[in-house]
Amino acid sequence: MRSYQRLLLVAAASLAASPLVAQDLSCERGDREVRSLRFAGNREYPEAVLATTVATLPSTLPGVPLLGTRRCLDPVEFARDVRRLETLYRRRGYPDVKVDTVVRTVRPTVIDITFHVTEGEPMRVSAFALRGVQDDAALTGAARDFPLRVGGLFDRSALEAGRDTLVRRLRNLGWPQAEALLAYTTNTAQRTADVEVAVVPGARARIGRIALVVDSGGESRSVSDAAIRRTMALRSGDWFSARHIIDAQRNLYQTDAFQRVELQPDSVQPPGDTIVNLTARLVEGDRFAARGGLGWATLDCFRMQGSLTDRDFLPYAQRLELTARVSKIGLGAPLDGAEDLCQGQARSDPYSRTLNYYTSMTLRQPVRADQVRVPSLTVFSSTLSEYKAYLRRTPIGGVLSLSDPFAVRPSPRTPSTLSYQLELGRTEAEPAFFCAVFNACDSDLRAFLQRTNRLAALEYSISRERLNDPLRPTGGTIVRATLRHASTLIGSDRTQQFDRVSGDASWYRKAAGATITAHVRAGLVQGRGVGNGFGGFIPPQERLYAGGPTTVRGFRQNELGPAVYIVSGYTTETVNGVTYFRADGGAVTERVVPTGGNTLVVGNLEAQWASPVLPQLLQLAAFADAGRLWNRGGTALRADGPVVKITPGLGVRVASPFGAVRIDFGYNPYALPAGAAYFNARPQGGVAPLYCVSPGNTLAVTPAAGAGQPAAQASGSCPSSYRPSRRTGLFGRLNPSIWIGQAF
C-alpha cells in the first residue's frame, strides 16, 4: 500500500502542476528575485510534492550568478499557486483547506516566500461498497487492495486510480468490455462520504482466430507465418488479455523485421460474445540493415565501425549480426602514417603502434515480452589494447550468453546475463611489467607468460536501473555487479585461473537547483594460476586499473596506483670493485608502465548546474574523485603517498543526441608514486637485455663476455626507489579528459 500511496501522491501533484510547463520565471529589471521557497503547516503532503505543484520556484545558488539560475516572482502565477495547492488538498479529502502566503523582503529586489497551509479536518469514508465482484474468484482477485477503505481519507484521486487499475486488471483477465462505475455522496457537516464502486464486467471471452495480413511491398515474404505466430506468443483459446496483445505487438516490433504492426480485435464485441477474433496487419521492413561510422578519440586517434544485420537469417526470425570496429588508425601498423593528427597521449602509448580491431558474428533470438531466457552466440577475433598496460591478441574466441537465467519472469529493469567465454589468445606487455610484478625478468620466463593459451571464463552480471532519464538523469539509481571465474574445471589453461568480482553504484538527486551524482566502485581479483612457479598469477587483462575520465579524473588513464618506469639512461657506479647500473637525477622518464592491482576502491561526488549562458545546451560541473588501487599480499608493488588519493576538478557538459559530452579538468596535487626503474637496452648478440636501474639497487653487473655481447645483471628484486620528477605549476597538475555519455 505504501508504494501505491506514493504513486498517488506523485500523480496528484502532476495533475495539479500540469499547467506549469510553459511558465517564464526569468528576471528582468524591477522584478523581485525569489531567494527561498518554504511550506509550513503541511502534514499530509511532504514539501517536495508541494514544491512540484506550484509555478513559483526559488533561484538556484542565490548570490552565485555564474553557477546558479535567477528566478523571479510572477504575480499572476503566484496567485494561481494558492488555488493549485487548495485543489490538491481538496481532492485528497481536505475540503476546508486554506492556503495563505507570507512574502518577506530581504532586499528591495530579493524576497523569501512561505506558503502557510491550514489543512482543516479531513473528510473520511463512512461506508464503502464494491459491487459486482462477489460471484467470481477472478473478479474478487482483481479488486484486491482497492485504495479506499472505511475510516480512510475520501481521496478522489485514489478513487479514480483504483477504478482504472481495477478495469485494467479485468481486461487483462478475459473481460474485454469491463467497466467500473463510481458513485459517492458527501456529508459536509459530518465530514463523511459514502462510496460505491459498481463493476460491470460483461462476458468473459477467449481469443479466437488470429488472422495475419502481411504487406511485403510486392516482394516475396521474408518472415513466415509460423515465425510471426511464434513471436507473438498468442494462442487461440487463451483468455483475452489487453496486456498480452500489447506484448505481442512489442514482440513483433523488436524483431526489427516490420515497419508497422497493428494487432486489434476484428470489431466491437457484441454483448454476450465469448470469442474475440484478432487480426494482425503487418508491413515488412528491409531484411538487411547496414550501419557505419567514422570518428576520432583521444586514445584511439581515428576509428571506424560498421555492422550488417540479417533480420531473418534462420526460421523464427533469428538475427545474424556482423560487426567490425577498427581503431588506432593513423598510428597503428599497417594503417599508420598520420601521427600528427593524433593526440599526444595516443602517440606515447607503445600499444597504439599496432592497429586495434574487433570483428564478430552474432546469432541471436529476438526478445519477446513473455520470454525469460534469451540465448545468443558470438564468434569473434580481436586485437585490443589497454592504454600503456598491455596488448591482447585473440585470433579466435566465442561467447555463449543467456539473459535472465535465474528469473521466473522477465525483468526489464533488473536484467542479468550468464555467459561462457572461450578464446585462444595471448597478452603482450612491457618486459618491465613482468619483471616487476611477477619477477619474470628472464626472456624465457616472459615468453612463457606471453604464449598463446586458452582462456575459459564463466561470468554473471546483473544490474538494477531506476532513472528518470537515461541520457541526462536527475534522479534515480544504477547498481551493477559482475562475477567472473576462470579455472581448468571449465576449460581454462592452468596459468589463466582467477576469480574476479566488481561492482558499482550511482545515485542521482536534485538539490538546490543542482543535480548531485554520487558513485562508488569496487573490485577484487584473486589469481589461482600455476605454472613455472607463478602461483597466484593474474593475467594482465584481468588486473584492475584506474585513472581517467570514468574513475579518478585527476590522474591520466590507468596511472592511479602502482607503476614501474622506463627511463632514457643510467649511470655506472662502482663500489668496492662491484659495478651497478643506477638512474641518476637527470634520467628522463620515457613512459609510465601501469602495473594495475588486485584491489580497487573509487568514489566520486559531482554537482551540475545549468549554465547562465545557453542553459539548455551547457551545464557546469564541480567534482571530487577519490580512489585507491593496490595489491593485497606480500608484493612490493604498493603505491606510496596517501592511502586514498583525492582530486578535485571542474567541468562542462554539452548536450548532444548521443548523451552529454563531458569536458573535465581534474587537479592532481600528487607526485607520481615511487617505483622500479628499468632501461631497455638495444639488442646485442640477438638479446635485448632489460636492466634494473633503480637508485640504490644491489644487482651487480658483470661486463660483457665478448664483443657484441650485452653486460649481464644479477637476478633479484628491483627496488621501488625511483621517483619521476614532480609536475609543477597549475597547468602541469591539471589533467584534461573528454567523455561522451554518463561516466558513472
Residues 306-330 have pLDDT tens digits of 999 887 777 656 789 999 999 999 9
Grid coordinates given for 424: 585462444
* Res. 259: pLDDT tops 90: no
Q: Which amino acid is at 721?
A: S
Q: Which amino acid is at 448?
A: F
Residues 664-716 have pLDDT tens digits of 999 999 988 888 999 988 877 667 788 999 999 999 999 877 777 888 889 88
**Contacts of 210 by beta carbon, 8 Å cutoff, 6+ apart:** 229, 232, 234, 236, 277, 278, 279, 280
Question: CA 51, CA 38: separation in Å to the nearest integer?
Answer: 9
Q: At what angle do helices 2-17 and 75-92 cross, to 10 degrees?
A: 150
Question: CA 142, CA 370: separation in Å to the nearest integer?
Answer: 21
Could you say which DSSP state residue 287 is in? S
* Res. 268: pLDDT tops 80: no
CA dihedral 588, 593, 599, 600 (to 10 degrees): 80
Average pLDDT over residues 196-224: 86
Could you say which DSSP state residue 687 is in? B
The yes or no reply on domain 124-200 and CATH 3.10.20.310 is yes
DSSP string, 341-386: GS-HHHHT-GGGGB-EEEEEEEEEPPP-TT-S--EEEEEEEEEEEE
Question: CA 470, CA 62: separation in Å to the nearest integer?
Answer: 29
Residues 419-435 have pLDDT tens digits of 999 999 999 988 888 88
pLDDT interval class at 7 (50, 70, 90): very low
Grid coordinates given for 7: 504513486
The larger pLDDT score, comparing residue 638 to residue 532, is at: 638
Question: CA 640, CA 628: separation in Å to the nearest integer?
Answer: 11
* Res. 175: pLDDT tops 60: yes
Among the listed ranges 3-17, 26-40, 156-170, 390-404, which one has the minimum average pLDDT value?
3-17
Question: CA 309, CA 744: separation in Å to the nearest integer?
Answer: 30
* Res. 584: pLDDT tops 60: yes
Which residue, 321, 324, 325, is CA-closest to 288? 321
Q: What are the Cα distances from residue 322, in Å, to 312, 444, 639? A: 14, 39, 43
pLDDT interval class at 16 (50, 70, 90): very low
Q: Which pLDDT score is estimated for 678? A: 93
Residues 618-630 have pLDDT tens digits of 899 999 999 999 9
Q: Which pLDDT score is estimated for 337? A: 87
Neighbours of 500 (CB within 10 A): 21
β-pair type (179-187, 318-329): unpaired
Instruction: Give domain 206-284's CATH superfamily.
Output: membrane protein fhac (3.10.20.310)
pLDDT interval class at 657 (50, 70, 90): confident
Residues 47-73 have pLDDT tens digits of 988 998 999 989 877 766 656 678 899
* Alpha helices, DSSP H, located in 179-304: 225-232, 242-254
Q: Which pLDDT score is estimated for 18? A: 45
Residues 132-165 have pLDDT tens digits of 988 888 888 998 889 999 999 999 999 999 999 9
Q: What is the pTM of this model?
A: 0.74
Can you list the pairs that 332-340 forms with residues at least 24 positions away whose Cβ atoms lie under 8 Å?
332/356, 338/301, 338/302
Parts of the chain belonging to CATH 3.10.20.310: 2-118, 124-200, 206-284
Residue 478 near residue 463 (C-beta atoms within 8 A): yes
Residues 346-390 have pLDDT tens digits of 888 889 999 999 999 999 876 665 667 888 999 999 999 999 889
Q: At what angle do helices 2-17 and 156-172 cross, to 10 degrees?
A: 110
Name the CATH topology of 2-118.
Answer: Ubiquitin-like (UB roll) (3.10.20)
The larger pLDDT score, comparing residue 633 to residue 554, is at: 554
